[in-house]
Chains A and B, each alone.
Chain A
Amino acid sequence: MTAWLSLLAFVLISGASFWYLGIGFGDLLAAESRGKMLDYAVGFFPPDTSAAFIARTLQGSLETLAISAIGTLLAAFMGLFLAVPAAGRLGLPARAAARLLLNFLRSIPELVWAMLMVLAAGLGPFAGTLALALHTAGVLGRLFAETLENTPPEPTLALRNSGSPTALAFLYGTLPGVMPQLTSYTLYRWENNIRMAAVLGLVGAGGLGMMLYMSLSLFKQGEAATVIVAMLVLVAIVDALSAWLRQWLGRSGS
């Protein structure tokens, strides 16, 4: 019953939305604009396969790969650093502060971070790396904190009780137990981040995204098609790599 009701409500609200937006379907489907759209679409085939452009695309792909990898790695360190207080291991006020910071970091979408980082660090891949790092630190930090909360504190407490400094007690007592889970989360997040890294360039943060933006701005749809294909291939490669790494680490264990 609920399903049918919500379906009905949705259809009505959708209708209202279309009306509110005033999308001129008539104009869009008119012969002239149809023709223009067709011309535009046709421009994508064939994709630009000149050696020079393929080389540039390869460079852009490597740049995007680097952005996603370094960004995710940086995020893992930052996330772990924030996860320890967020899991309550340094007291309640630290927990509240860390959780607030983590929420802030992950609530702002990567693209907004990218625009902010372009302001701070200038156009280029560094902005993209930082943007990914900041947003992902929030995501990973939260996941890491949950993992830490579910880890027995006894090993660390025992070490502290025999005089060990807090940080070392954590590294010797807790980290060995949670490493596999943390690595798994990080690798999984990398799969998301490669997609993001490809796209952050649209606001100037380097990599394939920036190439795509420029190609489209110059109305070189053929180049754009090549870049899009490169994006898809890159995502497929990283997905496979991440899955393989996770499997390999799961079996052997460090």
Chain B
Amino acid sequence: MELKLESVALTLDGGHRAIQEVSLTLARGERLAIIGSSGAGKTSLLRLISTGLRPSLGALRIEGRDPWLLSRRSLRALRGRIGAIYQAPPLPPRQRVVTAVLAGRLGRWPLWKSYASLAYPADIPGARAALGRVDLAERLFDRCDRLSGGQLQRVGVARVFYQQPELILADEPVSALDPQLADRVVGELNRESTTRGVTLVASLHAVDLALRWFPRVVGLREGVVTFDLPPVRITDAMLTELYASESPMPPTQDNRPLELPSAHLAPVAGANQPLCR
């Protein structure tokens, strides 16, 4: 699913301008990581792309069309092909994991199947497979309120895997996981993208994960893109500037100092160019 942001701006209820001006183009199957400090606008940007929020200025184009001009039915169909992973998984506490995962296909299933699944889960093997990819298959029939924060995050990821969307928008999907597991999940997301041609946009707090897995990294600061580069072209200076308001060193999943890919390369003229659109 190709998508394009054309000079998009977003003002939230309450007047805060979450996104000043962002223009971005993604081809089908492309993988993009967004990094930036808290409050930079990462979550708002993802919600905007998922058609959860409407841009105040500019336009969003998914597959060449503005989703906000579609009919209700077409918009619903489109949304069924977009999968969103939330930092705080929106899962009802008393629901069982299997039902939560299967809910990913509510947009695609025929009505009778969706209703029937409430009484007896309609696709246990499918749910199990999705959970297996995030190492959680054994908790299939547990209630969500018996899971830790990290496990809940993984259920949210499993739901999107089960949904099999054409665009995945992941908002800090591994913030509550330990470094090994986080790496594994981010790897799975990337694998999903490369094997099935799914466009992937992930906002990550841990810069090391972004640099390790994604061929394209966008830095977001106060609602504006400060750089849009492959990891080898990203310098220390760029990252320090990005996270200046938050911490002296860029954050990592395991809290160890960041190793830049660019540090391993011989200095190349122009390697420290800022802003490349």
CB-based contact B84/A177 at 8 Å:
no
Please name all residues of chain A whose beta carbon is closer than 8 Å to the beta carbon of B111 when the two chains form the complex.
165, 168
Q: Is A150 an interface residue (CB 8 A)?
A: no
Q: Is A214 an interface residue (CB 8 A)?
A: no
Please name all residues of chain B whose beta carbon is closer than 8 Å to the beta carbon of A160 when the two chains form the complex.
79
Q: Is B253 an interface residue (CB 8 A)?
A: no
CA distance A70 to B155 in the complex (A): 39
Known contacts A158-B84, A158-B86; is A164 also within 8 Å of B91 by CB?
no
Please name all residues of chain B whose beta carbon is closer than 8 Å to the beta carbon of A173 when the two chains form the complex.
90, 92, 103
CA distance A154 to B92 in the complex (A): 9
Output the residue of B76, B108, B115 with the most chain A CB within 10 A: B76
Q: Is A26 an interface residue (CB 8 A)?
A: no
A147 CB → nearest B CB, Å: 14
Q: Is A53 an interface residue (CB 8 A)?
A: no
CB-based contact B81/A155 at 8 Å:
no
For chain A, the count of residues having a C-beta within 8 Å of the partner chain is 25
Chain A, 154-177, CB within 8 A of any chain B CB: 154-155, 157-165, 168-169, 171-177
CB-based contact A172/B95 at 8 Å:
yes
CB-based contact A163/B118 at 8 Å:
no
CA distance A179 to B94 in the complex (A): 9
CA distance A224 to B209 in the complex (A): 81
A77 CB → nearest B CB, Å: 15
Closest 6 CB pairs of A and B: A163-B107, A163-B80, A164-B106, A158-B90, A154-B90, A163-B79
* Chain B residues with a Cβ under 8 A of chain A: 50-52, 76-84, 86, 88, 90-95, 99, 103-104, 106-108, 111, 114-115, 118, 143, 163, 165
* Chain A residues with a Cβ under 8 A of chain B: 152, 154-155, 157-165, 168-169, 171-177, 179-180, 253-254
